Amino acid sequence: MSAEKYLQKIQAIIEKIQKTQMKKILKAAELMAEAIASGGRVYLFGSGHSVIPVMDVFPRYGSFVGFYPLYDPRLMWTNVIGPGGARELLWIERKEGYAKVFLQSYSLESRDVIIVFSHGGRNAAPIEVALEAKARGLKVISVSSHKNMKVSKPSHSSGKFLAQVADVAIDNCVPPEDALVDVGRPEKIAAGSTVAAVSVAMALVAETGALLARQGKLTPTFVSPNVPGIAPDHNDRVYRAFTEFYYNRPVNTEK
């Protein structure tokens, strides 16, 4: 059955991530915990379907204040064709120069960290977000397909893939074509990169939170109201903490 085949392939991808990428995941989590503990932020960026792990990290039950998703509706499809459609999104995603303009709206600081998700790791938007963040002194974590670097050429004028820009480059262990299931046609179906990226993202949330908890610095956590014993206004306090930190950011004392 193709459904079972897909689940088997996804399971194999997750197992490969666990076997080959844990050192990088642990290193990335250390950078993230250090940023949040010092009053910094962990920004998240993705375009196209790679916005899904960004949306899933925060606000989300089981996550905590310190994560700052960077959303750009022009890089997220809200339609299939026409305004907000895939054709338009892909054109902007590949247009050099746009990402730097987009980031002008955010006060990135050297104590911050950014995670950039991009399965292919070739398009201008994720690469330029990573380059601009590095230029501002941030540590950059990437989640992309490293196999893609072996079978394709860079499309950005820098001559680099996203993983080659990052300080910590995590491989999503998904094949370049993304789709996993052969149904007897040249093109496969059923993509794997979203499940892989969200799994990596949640592993990073888990490890970062554990590190902060051991230091006594875990920030307010977004919790399902179905959890017994949780106060009715618990998540209102999370929203307030996020808002306070967003608008009253602690002064950066770095030299």
Token pair listed for 97? 């120069």
Give the pLDDT confidence of 35-93 residue by residue, as tens digits: 999 999 999 999 999 999 999 999 999 999 999 999 999 999 888 998 889 999 899 89
Token pair listed for 52? 């899904």
Give the pLDDT confidence of 220-254 residue by residue, as tens digits: 999 998 899 999 899 999 999 998 877 776 666 55
Whole-prediction pTM value? 0.94
CATH number for the domain running over 2-247: 3.40.50.10490
Token pair listed for 85? 């459609």
Where do the domains of the chain lie? Answer: 2-247
Determine the Cα–Cα distance for residues 66 and 63; give it in Å rounded to an integer. Answer: 9
Largest CA distance in the chain: 60
CB contact at 8 A, 188 and 180: yes
Question: Which amino acid belongs to residue 116?
Answer: V
